[in-house]
Amino acid sequence: MKTSWVSITGLSLTFLVAACSSDTKNTTPGAAGAGNGTAGAPAGTAGTGNGTAGSPTGTAGSGNGTAGSETGGSPGAGGAPGTAGSGNTAGTAPALPRLVTSAADAYWKTDGTVTEVTTGTADVTVGDTAGPTWEGFGGAFNEMGWKYLMMLSEADRAAALKLLFGDDGARFTWGRIPMGASDYAIMRYSLNETADDTAMANFSITQDKTLLIPYIKAAQAIRPGIHFWASPWTPPTWMKSAPFQSGNVSSPFDGGTMKSDDATLGAHAQYFVKFVQAYGTEGIKIEIVAPQNEPNFGQNYPSCLWATDTFVKFVGKFLGPTLKAASPDTKIMLGTMSNGDSGKDPAIVTAVLADATAKSFISMIGLQWGMSSTTAMAGAKASGLPMWQTEHKCGNYPWKPADYPNFNATTAPNDLAYGLESWKNLTLWIKAGVTAYSAWNMVLDTVGLGNDTTRVWPQNALLTVDTAAKKLNITPTYYVFRHLAQYVEPGAKVMPTTGGDALAFKNPDGKIVTVLYNSGAAKTGIVSAGGKMYSFPMPAAGWATVTSQ
């Protein structure tokens, strides 16, 4: 593996530029180590200016617990982050360079110059007709992400958080939170495993306080105004009926079908209310909830199948009215839909939107990468509701699709090829009309395995942690996201473009942000935006973000 050094805020970080290995036969992951040990007390109080979050200290444990077991070693509670400084909490973020470029071995270069010109042919022209209002970029919080961040030094951990949430980073404004275990949780759990507790008397977020909530609070310390939405991967196991997912290990958390009786659906609606309320007491406002992650995929990780009529009934008769009464500010996302090829998730979208009562509670539609085809997206687009892209493609696919790099069963590639794939997905979805876009795992280790007990799938992330060397790696895909997320403000208008491979936005201050990819040789690029033309140095096989005056 080749590495090069990148200096970020005075900190030396390794940057991966390793290529995929050749196609490798799947193998079943072995048992991971024991629990996570006890994290230490919180460190210090943040300073003034932007404020350095008081990152938790202490040593993270050595592993995940046995893969596929329903309970793993109990991780220690991470220390609470310190209070963010007073600098940019509500003030104006520092001015950004008008031009930033990225290419292999030359990421995030800000030394180029933008020049207004009156002659030349534009590579990209930004149109004048404003499209939808942009709501923001973000990523998913998962337990494994914080586990790996806790293996870093305090300084490196603070640098990672600033790269994701800081003004001199990607400025992510949305965070997705799992309700109970996701496929990147360190153990299988829900927030109430007491059978038939329809009153939710035993609801608890104790497990979330060990890793997930410290991760979220660390992000809040960097970006106090960050917004949150949430969805379950599985309801409590007593709310599901067998059969559960077959595979190397059978678990009632994996697969199964949501029960459709009124008592269960009513209890599940209360489960959502309890979650919103419990997180509220932690200072984490859940603004949006989605009923189920991928309701037509049963997997060998926490998951649940939903019949279409059960989904409609739950939204219209239980979740919608219950939230309206108990937490009226909490919105419902029709999501998160993923199984587009079979037509199963599009059928849920169609059925919910056809039911006047259920539709009245829906504020937006959440679509994951399996819904990217025109056919799968058709019902959502026709609804007139905002569409959100709720999970970015994670790359390195075990089913070995054509025209993709070879599958690597040993480690997540996190390479430039995945950076280009990520750019193609971002442009596809944004041009299709989504108004928000979520990365999947923001942070993983360099291997990238989750808690799937049967399918080996090392997945890419934006940042990775070398757990042996205790070093932070910045991936090419992080920079692709940052080219957009740092410059495009919530409230911007998506603008049309012609020519080239580009996206454009008009920020609330009137400045036009154009992000381009150049697949050819280095050249002088020209963008026409707002009636003016701007020239700038464009790298070979790389990206540029250009801002108008």
- pLDDT tens profile 506-543: 999 999 999 999 999 999 999 999 999 999 999 999 99
User: Stretch 375-381: mean pLDDT, rounded?
Assistant: 92
Lowest model confidence (mean pLDDT) among 3-7, 136-140, 232-236 = 3-7
- Count the residues in the chain: 549
Q: CA nearest 296: which of 350, 257, 250, 260?
A: 257
Q: How far apart are CA 132 and CA 333, in angstroms?
A: 18
280 HSE (CA, 13 A, CB side): 13
Specify whether the CB–CB gap between 5 and 474 falls below 8 A.
no
Q: How far apart are CA 522 and CA 86, in angstroms?
A: 42
**pLDDT recorded at residue 549:** 77
Helix (H, G, I), strand (E, B) or coil at 525: strand
Look at the pTM and tell me if it is higher than 0.75: yes
Decide the pairing of beta strands 286-289 and 331-337. parallel
Q: What is the pLDDT of residues 298-334, one digit of tens each?
A: 999 999 999 999 999 999 999 999 999 999 999 999 9
Any idea what DSSP says for residue 369?
G
Q: Which two tokens stand for residue 183?
A: 């496929």
At residue 32, φ and ψ (nearest 5 deg) are: -80, 170
Residue burial 396-418, b: 16+ Cβ < 10 Å; e: rest:
beeeeeeeebebbbebbbbbbbb
**pLDDT recorded at residue 342:** 86
Any idea what DSSP says for residue 364?
E
Structural domains present in the chain: 99-127+497-547 (no CATH), 135-487 (3.20.20.80)
Starting at the edge strand found earlier in the chain, the sheet holding 523-529 runs 115-117, 532-538, 523-529, 124-126, 497-498
pLDDT confidence tier of residue 445, bands split at 50, 70 and 90: very high
Lowest model confidence (mean pLDDT) among 13-17, 262-266, 431-435 = 13-17
